[in-house]
Structure 1
Amino acid sequence: MTVDHFLTYLQHEKRYSPHTIQAYRIDLLQFSDFLLTTFELELKDAAYIHVRDFMVWLMDHGNSENSVGRKLSTLRSFYKYLIREQVVRVNPMSFAKAPKVPKRLPVFVDDQKLDQLLDSKEFFDESFPSVRDKLVIETLFGTGIRLAELLSIKESDIDFYETSIRILGKRNKERVVPVSKSLMSQIKAYIDLKSLQNFNNKTGVLFVTNTGAVAYRTLIYKIVHRYLTYISTQEKRSPHVLRHSYATSLLNRGADLNAIKELLGHSSLAATQVYTHNSIERIKSIYKQAHPKA
């Protein structure tokens, strides 16, 4: 099956993550179902008009511009692969343009509020789940790593001497992220506490569930959402918000943009530059509050 061949190519040659490959699979199956039910066509028989009708159908069914753009990106990669493999001769994506996405600034939480949360004894105790939950927040905010990167950290990735963590990023690219001595002490205390738990299956992965199993995406998301609710009323309270908070905090304190790019594991500077908008807005706010002529 062509879709399976394409996904295998993404896995072995492009080295995409399982999460990304699953998203590609869902997008392709959705377009395949649309073609079959609407036009009785297969993927290899699609033309531009069918892609255009698919975009309209997606928008009519409540998909956002971002979502439609992502699905078109999947189709663009898929048909580029089919052209290369000589499965199709004409690329139906040649004239397809993604809908314009309204620019949105990255959502972040003020670092002072995060400090208040993490320094408070009201929300955290000395039990294993509580120590783990606090370390999840501390690590995401203290390193700016992605959720998938957090879940992949093994105890062997932690260098206590150099106070750094080896991170496996997108497309299996490795980078070393420095951490504070305070965070490193918390990691060590957590590992010591974890070793005292009566877990049947010992694992080398850093973050685990209450029963010792490898932590999963939904667990981390719920942890972050729960604790951010205590300090923030904004709608988004995801692990990625802490990544944004990390980058914004660094930029506001004068960190070099290229250094932030490397710390975040961005492949291009353009992805990092979005944080400068938050910094500019903060400067404007300070000016309006402090300058007599503002």
Structure 2
Amino acid sequence: MGNVNVSLKLFIQYLQIEKNCSQYTVEYYHRDISEFFMFMVEQTIKDLNDVTDFDVRLFLTKLYEKKLAKKSIARKISSLRSFFTFLLREKVVTENPLALISLPKSESRLPRFFYEEELQQLFKVCDVTTPLGQRNQALLEVLYGTGIRVGECVQIHIHDLDMSLGTVLIKGKGHKERYVPFGRFASDSLRLYIEDGRNQLIRKSEDHHALFVNFRGEPLTARGIRTILDKMIKKTALNGKIYPHMLRHSFATHLLNNGADLRTVQELLGHASLSSTQVYTHVSNEHLRRTYMTYHPRA
């Protein structure tokens, strides 16, 4: 299995350097492919060139037997397909055994989001007289005010902000960059945090340009952001868990509910395809229905 592990190492380097994937994405690829390697050991398949489409279908069957969600299975198959496509390009294998394998259709789930009154509770929990409270408030305002991904948020540097124009340069997926505007609330929170809280926190660390830092003054990680949001929601009367992506979903849903057009929301979210953005129209349809029932004379 030596060549197998070498191939995975080369693929991980390709994801990090050529594809510029986030650490979070790389970890998922590594986990999914390693799981397939364990399957190869069970089936006494010693070489990647020996993997056939029959083997892949057997692997799929075992995943279904574990009663995994269709979305999880689809991700694992997608990871393997990308891996073998890379190996084909590098002439490590002669054909892709996943070429004819179709992905399972995922369940149609609407994105979870916060109602505006629920968000108001979150915006009131931070103690902005403390450095960490100022950071948390600025973090919340930026995530909801821009709709950026958590992986994009941790990459923001101080010099990416243009406070006079109210925009931030976002480094998105696949080396794509875009400018995203932010409003007065985010601007006020950022100014307070940058001029006060961040300066106090950064003294405990070596100098760097990361906008959001932890209590040691080091750059904040995606996991750190999730922990911060979890602690914040526990201080409210809201039930359930909070995920950074819920703020992104809320950003898109609230824009559409208040009249923004789909193309603009697509640009703000950094979606390559309009179909990725169209999922939010299903959520907004409830708002349209309420408006219709309220104002149409024969509703």
The two structures share one fold, judged by TM-score above 0.5: yes
Once residues 4 and 200 of structure 1 are traced to their aligned partners in structure 2, the CA distance between those partners, rounded to angstroms, is 32
Q: Report whether the alignment pairs 1:79 with 2:84.
A: yes
Once residues 285 and 232 of structure 1 are traced to their aligned partners in structure 2, the CA distance between those partners, rounded to angstroms, is 24
Deviation, 1:82, is 2.4
- Contact conserved, 2:114 with 2:246, CA < 8 A, in 1? yes
Aligned to 1:187: 190
Aligned to 1:260: 265
Aligned to 1:44: 49
Q: Percent identity?
A: 36
Q: For residues 165 and 123 of structure 1, do their structure 2 counterparts lie closer, same or farther at Cα, with a shift above 3 Å needed? A: closer
Deviation digits for residues 20-67 of structure 1 (CA, Å, limit 9, x no counterpart):
223212211110111112334333311111111111212222421111
Q: Report whether the alignment pairs 1:9 with 2:17.
A: no
Q: Report whether the alignment pairs 1:232 with 2:235.
A: no
- 224-233 or 150-159, larger mean C-alpha shift: 224-233
2:141 maps to which of 123, 138, 142? 138
- 283-292 or 257-266, larger mean C-alpha shift: 283-292
Secondary structure, aligned partner of 2:25: helix
- Contact conserved, 1:169 with 1:265, CA < 8 A, in 2? yes
2:28 maps to which of 11, 18, 23? 23
Deviation, 1:288, is 5.4
Secondary structure, aligned partner of 1:244: helix
Alignment of 1:56-67 (within 5 A): 56-67=61-72
* Residue segments in structure 2 that go unaligned for 5+ positions in a row: 1-5
Q: Report whether the alignment pairs 1:149 with 2:152.
A: yes
Secondary structure, aligned partner of 1:94: coil
Once residues 75 and 185 of structure 1 are traced to their aligned partners in structure 2, the CA distance between those partners, rounded to angstroms, is 46
- Contact conserved, 2:126 with 2:136, CA < 8 A, in 1? no
Deviation digits for residues 239-267 of structure 1 (CA, Å, limit 9, x no counterpart):
00000000001111111111111111111
The two structures have a TM-score, normalised by structure 1, of 0.91
Alignment of 1:108-187 (within 5 A): 108-118=113-123, 120=124, 123-187=126-190
Once residues 231 and 282 of structure 1 are traced to their aligned partners in structure 2, the CA distance between those partners, rounded to angstroms, is 24
Deviation, 1:189, is 0.9
2:37 maps to which of 13, 32, 40? 32
- Contact conserved, 2:21 with 2:174, CA < 8 A, in 1? yes
Deviation, 1:292, is 8.4
Once residues 215 and 90 of structure 2 are traced to their aligned partners in structure 1, the CA distance between those partners, rounded to angstroms, is 48
Once residues 37 and 239 of structure 1 are traced to their aligned partners in structure 2, the CA distance between those partners, rounded to angstroms, is 38
Once residues 216 and 287 of structure 2 are traced to their aligned partners in structure 1, the CA distance between those partners, rounded to angstroms, is 43
- Contact conserved, 1:32 with 1:43, CA < 8 A, in 2? no
Q: For residues 6 and 227 of structure 1, do their structure 2 counterparts lie closer, same or farther at Cα, with a shift above 3 Å needed? A: same
Secondary structure, aligned partner of 1:167: strand
1:258 aligned partner, one-letter code? R
RMSD between superposed Cα atoms in Å? 2.1
